[in-house]
Amino acid sequence: MLEGILIGLTTAFTGTNLFMVIGGCLIGTFIGMLPGLGPMSIIAIMIPVAISIGDPSAALILLAGVYYGAIFGGSTSSILINAPGVASTVATSFDGYPLARQGKAGKALTVAAIASFCGGTIGAILLMIFAPMLASVALLFHSAEYFALMVVGLSAIAAFAGTGQVGKALLMTFLGLIMATVGEGALFNAPRFTMGIMDLQSGFGFITLAMAMFALPEALYLVLDPARSNNEAGGEIKDLRITRDEAKQIAPVIGRQSIQGFLIGVLPGAGATIASFLGYAVERNIASKEDQEQFGKGSIKGLAAPEAANNAAATGSFVPLLTLGIPGSGTTAILLGALIALNVTPGPRLMIDEPEVFWAVIVSMYIGNLVLLFLNLPLIPYIAKVLAVPRTFLIPFILFFTLMGAYIGQNNATELLILVGFGICATILRFADYPLAPLLIGFILGQMLEDNFSRSMQLEGGIGFILERPMTMGLLAFAVLLVVLPTYRARIRAQGIADGD
């Protein structure tokens, strides 16, 4: 392994390759800030450039840099304007945006940058040591286990079922699950619930729905309620740096979530989105009572958890890609296509046949993460200033990015109508105090939940698979625990207080 690292270092530390990492990270970060362009589209755009370089190591280093940069940049729009452009940054906006509203945008961006850096770095170390071993473990997961894993992910909604909100949160989750069934399902070759509208045949777009649920209502709120646009801090950006105390608080969260996120990222059918939701749910459940109440209202723990988890998971998804040739996500699928075009065939033989490619990628992950950290920390005060812009400019700015985000990926103007329609519905629901995050979680997980469930049903010939497969059973039990435990703890505490009185 040491020998491998040396190969990687000598490959990565050439002038061109360093330039590739830095260039890739810069491009990724800046384009990634636009809500409509996730890592997948940015990598698709960069592939022709990468292929024209010709050298597989340099090309892969460039693309990997773009990938991390895009994930990193994606959290910026979640935090600043509540517009998550990628499913894996939805959880980031749960606490990141409330922090920004309290005038702590700078601190939120710093926490996100540090959590991402640690997640990515710990992920890269784990990748280096355990890649070959983990590849075979990932294959133990069948569709039945993926189904159970999605159920565990859904339990993240418990975080939004605060006092008296259980019914509302459940209702919104079901609404999200229902919306996920629109369009051609993976198990059925006819369109469902499309009402004959051709634009609905491939279902609702994630970005459209995310913008409609989060960013658009926020912009409408700013219009309807002028007082709200004055940040609670009076538009001033304060608290750029995190204190030693806060660092102490988030350190264990980042440590746990980097490892958990990495392990989930290794599974080809799971990925960064599930990792971020699970990270959020788990951290909320094990937090102390005071911290727990802060979740959703601007907890730095709630921000650090999904950020560390989704970056570690992104690194983890390189395990099946490099060792088995299996892409675990849309993004790694595009990377795989690029690799094949460069005459590199990922698989068990990659480490033996072309060690310089394998190790150069891993070493470039460290360098990429370092570059991102040093690139972003000094820029944060300037990026955070976006929020200090007067509302007459800020609102059109948010609306522009929201609408553009929904249009740009698909070039389909109907998306805009859907966006505005749902945006208005979402605003009404917000007035009625319905949480919108469970709807989006239900929507994101719904499709995967359904696909994996029906696949298992068909493979095992019935519902019996839940009883027959111990790992499925175990995961489902864990999901129940995640939902029941907080309620139980709350009850015990309530009794304790009553006794004290």
Which residues are near another protein by CB under 8 A? 40-41, 44-45, 51, 138-143, 184-191, 198-199, 201-202, 268-269, 320, 324-328, 330, 332-334, 336, 340-341, 345-350, 409-412, 414, 451, 455, 458-459, 461
Least distance in angstroms from the C-beta of 330 to another protein: 7
| Neighbour-count burial of 51, counting CB atoms closer than 10 A to its CB (0-12 exposed, 13-18 middle, 19+ buried) | middle
Number of DSSP helices (H) and strands (E) in the chain, helices first: 24, 2
Q: Which is nearer to another protein, 246 or 460 (CB)?
A: 460
Q: Which is nearer to another protein, 189 or 392 (CB)?
A: 189
Least distance in angstroms from the C-beta of 37 to another protein: 10
Q: Which is nearer to another protein, 330 or 355 (CB)?
A: 330
Least distance in angstroms from the C-beta of 332 to another protein: 7
Bridge partner list, 183 = 192
Q: Which is nearer to another protein, 241 or 349 (CB)?
A: 349
Least distance in angstroms from the C-beta of 115 to another protein: 27
Q: Which is nearer to another protein, 255 or 347 (CB)?
A: 347
Instruction: Produce one character per residue of 402-421: b if its CB has 16 or more CB atoms within 10 Å, e if not.
Output: bbbbbbbbeeeeebeebbbe
Least distance in angstroms from the C-beta of 337 to another protein: 8
Half-sphere exposure of 441 (CA within 13 A, CB side): 31
Whether 182 contacts 194, CB under 8 Å: yes
Least distance in angstroms from the C-beta of 21 to another protein: 23
Least distance in angstroms from the C-beta of 51 to another protein: 7
Least distance in angstroms from the C-beta of 191 to another protein: 6
Q: Which is nearer to another protein, 138 or 429 (CB)?
A: 138
Q: Which is nearer to another protein, 139 or 463 (CB)?
A: 139
Bridge partner list, 191 = 184
| Residue 54 to residues 43, 57, 339, 342, Cα–Cα distance (Å) | 16, 9, 11, 7
- The angle formed by the CA atoms of residues 465, 265 and 318, to the nearest 5 degrees, is 125
Q: Which is nearer to another protein, 51 or 424 (CB)?
A: 51
| Neighbour-count burial of 424, counting CB atoms closer than 10 A to its CB (0-12 exposed, 13-18 middle, 19+ buried) | middle
Least distance in angstroms from the C-beta of 412 to another protein: 5
Half-sphere exposure of 386 (CA within 13 A, CB side): 20
Least distance in angstroms from the C-beta of 180 to another protein: 14
Amino acid code (one letter) for 399:
L
3-state secondary structure 256-281: HHHHHHHHHHHCCCCCHHHHHHHHHH
Q: Which is nearer to another protein, 120 or 327 (CB)?
A: 327
Q: Which is nearer to another protein, 224 or 459 (CB)?
A: 459
Coil, helix or strand for 321? helix
H runs (alpha helix) in 267-354: 272-286, 289-294, 300-316, 318-324, 330-341, 350-353
Least distance in angstroms from the C-beta of 408 to another protein: 10
Q: Which is nearer to another protein, 94 or 146 (CB)?
A: 146
Q: How far apart are CA 255 and CA 466, in angstroms?
A: 32
Give Cα 107 to chain centroid, integer Å.
20
Q: How far apart are CA 31 and CA 21, in angstroms?
A: 15
Alpha-carbon Rg for the chain, nearest whole angstrom, is 22
